[in-house]
Amino acid sequence: MAILYWLLFGLIAGVLAKFLMPSKAPGGIVMTIVLGIVGAFVGGFVGHLIGFGDLSGFYLRSLALAVGGAILVLLIYQQVNK
């Protein structure tokens, strides 16, 4: 069930990250959402490693982890595609 939460949070996180970090990155909104899904996995993994929690339900903490991971992945993607 956690995978479904990560996918859902990834979709939401991708949209929120695109809103928080508007740029001319290649791929548009679809790529941003895909990177948001990847970012949700990254955020959940990092959050679990540092003891902050994981994406285990619809909590503000879980959404913050997903959005933080999505922003991190988007930043890396933008730097690689300069």
Q: Domain range spanning residue 26?
A: 2-80
**3-class SS of residue 28:** helix
Between 26 and 10, the more confident residue is 10
Query: Within 10 Å of residue 46's Cβ, how many Cβ atoms?
Result: 15
34 vs 29, residue with greater confidence: 34
Q: Domain tally for the chain?
A: 1
Name the E strands within the chain.
none
Q: Which two tokens stand for residue 53?
A: 């929690």
Q: Which two tokens stand for residue 78?
A: 């933008």
Contact 65, 48 (CB under 8 A): no
Residue 17 pLDDT > 70: yes
Q: Mean pLDDT across the chain, nearest whole number?
A: 76
CA dihedral of residues 33, 38, 41, 43 (deg, nearest 10): -80
